C-alpha cells in the first residue's frame, strides 16, 4: 500500500476509535513496526495526530470532531451502551436526553418503551422518538445549532428549569482520569449542568474514545453521576474513584457478527 493511502487509512481509524496502536496498525497493513512509527511521526508533525506511548491519538484541542464524522464513530459500541442504558430506564417515567450521537442511540433504544415523557434539546432525538407512539416529546427551545440539531443558550436553560425529570441521560466529548466530564461548547456545558440539576437520577453514556481526548470546558464530575454506561472497563485508578463516589459503572459489550 502506498504510504499516502496508508496514512489516510490510519487517520480514518484514529477518527473511528480515538486512538491507534503501532502493533495493531503494523498487523493490519502488513508492514514493520518501524514503518508505522514513521507514519505516525509524520502525521504528528503535520498536526493530524498526537504521538503517545505505543501509538497515537486524535490531537487535543478546543474544537470537536465534525458531527457527521462523530455519528459514524464506534457505532456498535454506542448501540451496546444505549441498550444497557435503556434497560435501566423504566417504563412510565420522565427522561431528559441531551445533545450527542450517544444520546441519539439511547433514543433509538427507547422506541419500545411505554408511557414515556421525553424532554430534549436535541432535534434529532425528537425526530427519532416520533416513531414511538407511547412517548410524549417536549423540546426545550433555544438557539438551533444546525451542525448537530442541538438547542442551546439562555432560553434552553430557562426551559429546563420548568422540569424535574426522573432520569437525565447526558453525553460528553471527553473524560479525564480525574473523573471530570468535559466538552467544547460552553453553552452546551451550561445546558448539561442544568439538566443534571433538574434530575432525580443521572446517567452518563460515553464510549472508550472519550477516554483518549481532552476538551476545555468542565461539565461535572463522575461523582455527580449515578450510573456511567460505557463499552470497556475503566482504568484501575478511575474505577476506584467511581467506587469511592458510589458511581455505578456498567459496561455494554458490542455484539459482533
DSSP 58-123: PPP-SSPPPHHHHHTSSHHHHHHHHHHHHHHSPSSEEEEE-SSHHHHHHHHHTTT--SEEEEESBH
Judge if 216 and 154 occupy the same domain: yes
- Say if 256 falls within a structural domain: no
pLDDT over 90 at 171, yes or no: yes
- Say if 62 falls within a structural domain: no
How does the average pLDDT of the chain come out, rounded? 89
Judge if 235 and 187 occupy the same domain: yes
- Say if 257 falls within a structural domain: no
Pick the more confident residue, 59 or 238: 238
Judge if 141 and 221 occupy the same domain: yes
- Say if 168 falls within a structural domain: yes
Judge if 40 and 116 occupy the same domain: no
Judge if 92 and 192 occupy the same domain: yes
Judge if 37 and 116 occupy the same domain: no
Query: Which of 89, 160, 171, 86 is CA-nearest to residue 120?
Result: 160
- Say if 210 falls within a structural domain: yes
The pLDDT assigned to 77 comes to 86
Cell of 101: 450521537
pLDDT over 50 at 203, yes or no: yes
Judge if 39 and 96 occupy the same domain: no
Give the mean pLDDT of 26-39. 93
- Say if 154 falls within a structural domain: yes
Which DSSP letter does residue 138 get? E
Query: Which of 129, 106, 103 is CA-nearest to residue 116?
Result: 129
Give the mean pLDDT of 209-221. 87
pLDDT over 70 at 127, yes or no: yes
What is the number of structural domains in the chain? 2
pLDDT band at residue 1 using 50, 70 and 90 as cut-offs: very low
The pLDDT assigned to 255 comes to 46
- Say if 187 falls within a structural domain: yes
Which DSSP letter does residue 215 get? -
pLDDT tens-digit profile of 13-24?
887 777 889 999
By residue range, what is the domain housing residue 49?
3-57
91 Cβ contact partners less than 8 Å away, ≥ 6 residues apart: 113, 114, 115, 116
Question: For the domain that residue 176 is a member of, what is the CATH number?
Answer: 3.40.50.1360
Judge if 180 and 107 occupy the same domain: yes
Judge if 15 and 105 occupy the same domain: no
pLDDT over 50 at 192, yes or no: yes
The pLDDT assigned to 156 comes to 95
pLDDT band at residue 47 using 50, 70 and 90 as cut-offs: confident
The pLDDT assigned to 62 comes to 44
Give the mean pLDDT of 113-133. 97
- Say if 247 falls within a structural domain: yes
Judge if 44 and 22 occupy the same domain: yes
pLDDT tens-digit profile of 143-164?
998 888 999 999 999 999 999 9
Judge if 126 and 147 occupy the same domain: yes
Judge if 140 and 191 occupy the same domain: yes
Question: For the domain that residue 31 is a member of, what is the CATH number?
Answer: 1.10.10.10
The pLDDT assigned to 145 comes to 87
Residue 96 burial (C-beta neighbours within 10 Å; 0-12, 13-18, 19+): buried
pLDDT tens-digit profile of 72-98?
566 788 999 999 999 999 999 999 999
Report the run of H or E that residue 48 belongs to, with start and end: none
Using alpha carbons only, what angle is made at residue 47 by residues 45 and 51, rounded to the nearest 5 degrees?
Answer: 65
Amino acid at each position: 500500500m502506498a504510504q499516502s493511502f496508508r496514512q489516510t487509512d490510519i487517520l480514518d481509524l484514529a477518527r473511528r476509535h480515538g486512538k491507534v496502536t503501532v502493533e495493531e496498525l503494523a498487523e493490519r497493513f502488513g508492514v514493520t513496526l518501524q514503518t508505522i512509527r514513521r507514519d505516525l511521526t509524520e502525521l504528528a508533525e503535520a498536526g493530524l495526530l498526537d504521538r503517545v506511548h505505543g501509538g497515537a491519538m486524535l490531537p487535543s484541542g478546543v474544537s470537536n470532531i465534525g458531527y457527521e464524522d462523530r455519528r459514524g464513530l464506534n457505532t456498535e459500541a454506542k448501540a451496546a451502551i444505549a441498550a444497557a442504558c435503556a434497560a435501566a430506564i423504566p417504563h412510565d417515567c420522565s427522561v431528559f436526553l441531551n445533545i450527542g450521537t450517544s444520546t441519539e442511540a439511547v433514543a433509538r433504544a427507547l422506541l419500545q418503551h411505554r408511557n414515556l415523557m421525553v424532554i430534549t434539546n436535541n432535534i434529532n432525538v425528537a425526530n427519532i422518538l416520533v416513531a414511538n407512539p407511547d412517548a410524549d416529546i417536549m423540546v426545550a427551545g433555544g438557539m438551533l445549532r444546525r451542525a448537530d440539531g442541538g438547542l442551546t443558550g439562555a432560553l434552553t436553560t430557562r426551559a429546563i428549569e420548568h422540569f424535574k425529570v426522573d432520569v437525565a441521560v447526558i453525553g460528553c466529548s471527553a473524560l479525564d482520569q480525574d473523573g471530570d466530564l468535559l466538552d467544547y461548547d460552553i453553552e452546551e456545558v451550561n445546558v448539561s449542568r442544568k439538566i443534571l440539576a433538574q434530575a432525580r437520577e443521572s446517567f452518563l453514556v460515553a464510549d472508550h474514545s472519550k477516554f483518549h481526548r481532552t476538551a476545555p470546558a468542565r461539565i461535572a464530575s463522575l461523582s455527580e453521576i449515578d450510573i456511567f454506561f460505557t463499552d470497556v472497563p475503566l482504568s484501575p485508578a478511575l474505577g476506584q474513584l467511581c467506587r469511592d463516589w458510589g458511581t455505578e459503572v456498567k459496561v455494554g459489550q458490542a455484539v459482533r457478527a
